[in-house]
Amino acid sequence: MDYKSIPKIELHAHLNGSLSNKNILELHQLKYQGSDQGINADAYKVQKELPDLTQCFAKFKYAHELTDVPERLGRACENVIRDFQEDNVVYLELRTTPRATEHMSRETYLATVCEAIRKCEKTCPGILVKLIPSIDRSKGVQVAEENVELTRKIREKYPDLIVGIDLSGNPENTDFRDFRKALQAARDCGLKLALHCAETAGSVSENLEMLEFGMDRMGHGTFMDESLETWKMLLEKRIPVECCVRSNLKCGSVSSAENHHIRKLLEAQHPVAICTDDSGVFDTSLSSEIELCAKTFKLSRDAIEEITLSTIDQSFASPSEKSRLKTLVHDFYRK
Ligand SMILES: [Zn+2]
């Protein structure tokens, strides 16, 4: 099966983590005007399995340094969208944390990304792109609340484009309960919630609180089955889980593809989305993730179609956009 040719839906992709080495090099050349001094694109990639998530988070620093002005941030965004389109991704929900730098405010950051996506509507007509601004837990509660307010404000100009809020970042030394107010404010203004949850073994105690609070989709859910209670609640609430197999393998949170929790979720006929997380950092693509899942779990062509259609349902696209995407997928599999 030619996995690249399949029309695909990507629901969990971080902008800075999705920059390919080629894009990292291009941004470096732009920043340092052609000089290759200090260039080290390999430092950005996770080459082999790592013992913990902290080192994975450290990898983003390099990309962040290159997207510190609007011009390069916009270029990064356009390049990432073009790469997804080249991989035959027909619908993409991109997420990114509004980040203030020496050269731009968080508001400028978010507006720049929105403008880049708008530009791609013309230059990359084969892919529909939505934006999910992220709350980085490690930046604290006040910044989280400000980012929700900022998202609400910018969304007035881009109502069809900004569809949700993401909670991500290193969960260590933070308490989920502190972020409930910001997340509830997002929910109250009509934004969907896609929350990283149960990403590390250390976060088990908050899993139940997060499930009780509720969310529209869960990122990773790696350690959901550590307790029977949380596992049961996840299945009962039918919260779709965004599964990023290679990301989990490289960060060492799962021991092998065979042991990835997507197996249990598929067996339970629970809605799952196969996603990349950070295709640049983890050196992967959505085609490659689907191929890995298909080969590891012996998924038939029909099963892949079914997962793709379910992923469309899990997306934050409008009903008419979902219907158009489903027709496109349906037509491909009936060719
Ligand atoms: Zn993620």
SS (H, E, C) 279-294: CCCCCCCHHHHHHHHH
Query: How many residues are listed for the chain in this entry?
Result: 335
Ligand 1 center from residue 14 Cα (angstroms): 6
Out of 32-46, 134-148, 216-230, 260-274, least confident range: 32-46
Task: Name every residue whose Cβ is closer than 8 Å to that of residue 287 and which is 6 or more positions away in sequence.
Answer: 3, 4, 6, 8, 87, 88
Ligand 1 center from residue 277 Cα (angstroms): 5
Ligand 1 center from residue 159 Cα (angstroms): 24
User: What mean pLDDT do residues 145-152 have?
Assistant: 98
Give CA separation, 274 vs 15, 117, 164, 206, in Å: 17, 23, 19, 24
Ligand 1 center from residue 196 Cα (angstroms): 7
Ligand 1 center from residue 334 Cα (angstroms): 33
User: What mean pLDDT do residues 250-254 have?
Assistant: 87
Ligand 1 center from residue 96 Cα (angstroms): 10
Q: What is the mean pLDDT of the chain?
A: 93
pLDDT computed for residue 226 by the predictor: 85
Ligand 1 center from residue 220 Cα (angstroms): 7
* C-alpha–C-alpha distance, residues 53 and 199, integer Å: 9
Percent of the chain scored above 70 by pLDDT?
93
- The closest of 129, 134, 102 to 116, measured between CA atoms, is 129
Answer with the residue of higher pLDDT: 181 or 34.
181
Mind listing the pLDDT tens digit for each residue in 13-57? 999 999 998 898 889 889 888 666 666 666 666 666 554 566 666
Ligand 1 center from residue 13 Cα (angstroms): 7
Using CB atoms within 10 A of its CB, is residue 120 exposed (0-12), middle (13-18) or buried (19+)?
Answer: buried
- Do 9 and 287 contact (CB within 8 A), yes or no? no
Ligand 1 center from residue 275 Cα (angstroms): 9
- The catalytic site residues sit at 199
Predicted TM-score of the model (pTM)? 0.95
Which residues have a beta carbon within 5 Å of ligand 1, which is an ion? 277
* C-alpha–C-alpha distance, residues 124 and 121, integer Å: 6
* C-alpha–C-alpha distance, residues 308 and 321, integer Å: 14
Mind listing the pLDDT tens digit for each residue in 267-293? 999 999 999 999 998 989 999 999 999
Q: Which two tokens stand for residue 88?
A: 């035959």
Answer with the residue of higher pLDDT: 307 or 28.
307
**The pLDDT of residue 247 is above 80:** yes
Ligand 1 center from residue 188 Cα (angstroms): 24
- The closest of 138, 52, 127 to 99, measured between CA atoms, is 138
